[in-house]
Amino acid sequence: MKHIACGASALLLALTIVVAQEPSAPLDYVASVKRNTAGGGLIRIMPGNISVTGMPAGMLVRLAYGLQDFQMTGGPGWLFSDRFDIEAKVEGPISQGGPTFVQTVFRQLLADRFNLKTHKETRELPIFALVLARSDGRLGPNLTRSSDECVAMMTTRGRGPSGPDGRGGPPPDGRGGPATLNFDGPAPCGGRLGGIGRLRAGGTTIEQFASGLLSERAQRVVIDKTGLTGYYDIALTYTPAPDQLPRGLAPPGAPPPPIDPDGPSLFTAIQEQLGLKLQDQRGPVEIFVIDSIDKPTEN
């Protein structure tokens, strides 16, 4: 039996900038929720089961609705400080299409156990446009065309280069998938891997790279205006600024994740390593507003 175990920051890389629709039918499941004071931040996904260790409710909301950190607003002070352990077992089948297995379970859990109430708004906010850095169009050393084999594989899939889970393979739904992920090596064709201050993408379009990986890292919506088409392999290493780290990755009081203080900023790395650059603009951004959420009763 295969399972997927990954930290919260890794799983967040699979999320897109689009807020998905609600599931069509209530989920048949049972779950236990307990307060965690020891830290963690780990999710294990197995057939019909999700196990969460030390995850703040705010992170669950992000994962459930495919949000970037800057798309969320509202909620109480404990949203990203209090952490929970969750065991959820699905009793019946999950309908195909729409939200993934993880999103479906977390949405139902947040509604039933946390009494989550939300609404959406569209606001005019600062965004970034991703453009070519050089007038001659030359790209950086870490942005290269994908191999012919990878292009053929992505084209044959007929579902876009990232697949339904944003990593190119089967969705993280406990029905099969990679058992281990190497976040330091090159990404496989259709894969998106990374950690704090580094990311890898294989066989992806620039539009998907901009709207997914870069938006999450830059903490703004990023619109692709490079004019580049086709599939690319991407490697980016940088030193994130404090405001580019998502909330809830580490427990309150824990030391920050190790970061190379001498590394380039995200903006410098994009220009030097990819031959692209981010330009300031303003545009409409869909915001997910938390109207209310309650601490769950433990069981």
Question: Within a domain: residue 72?
Answer: yes
Determine, yes or no, domain membership for 143: yes
- Helix/strand/coil percentages in the chain, nearest 5: 25, 30, 45
Question: Among candidates 215, 209, 179, 188, which has minimal Cα distance to 274?
Answer: 209
Q: Sign (positive/negative) of CA torsion 224, 230, 231, 233?
A: negative
* Cα–Cα distance for residue pair 269/253, rounded to 1 Å: 30
Place of tokens 């990986």: 213
Clarify whether residues 146 and 96 are in a common domain: no
Averaged pLDDT in 10-residue chunks for the chain of 299 residues: 48 39 64 85 84 92 90 94 92 64 90 96 96 96 95 75 37 34 71 84 94 90 96 94 71 61 92 97 96 93
pLDDT of 96: 55
Q: Is residue 299 part of a domain?
A: no
Per-residue pLDDT, 244: 80
Name the pairing type of β-strands 276-292 and 222-224: unpaired
Same-domain check for residues 209 and 269: yes
Task: For residues 59 and 80, give the distance between their C-alpha atoms in angstroms, rounded to a whole number.
Answer: 7
pLDDT score, position 172: 35
Residues 118 and 133 in one domain: no
Structural domain boundaries, residue 188 = 123-284
Distance from CA of residue 67 to its chain's centroid? 8
| Burial class of residue 261 in the structure, from the number of CB atoms within 10 Å of its CB (0-12 exposed, 13-18 middle, 19+ buried) | exposed
Asked, for residue 54, whether it belongs to a domain, the answer is yes
- On whether residue 297 sits in a domain, the answer given is no
Query: In the Cβ-directed half-sphere of 29, how many Cα atoms lie within 13 Å?
Result: 28
Chain mean position to CA 151: 24
Structure tokens at 34: 């307990």
How many folded domains does the chain comprise?
2
d(CA 133, CA 142): 14
Asked if residue 52 belongs to a domain, the reply is: yes
Nearest-angstrom CA–CA distance, 142 and 275: 9
pTM for the structure as a whole:
0.71
DSSP run (H or E) holding 284: strand 276-292
Q: What angle do CA 263, 268, 272 make, to 5 degrees?
A: 100
Q: For CA atoms 111, 69, 181, 163, give the dihedral sign.
A: positive
- Whether 14 and 8 have beta carbons less than 8 Å apart is answered as no
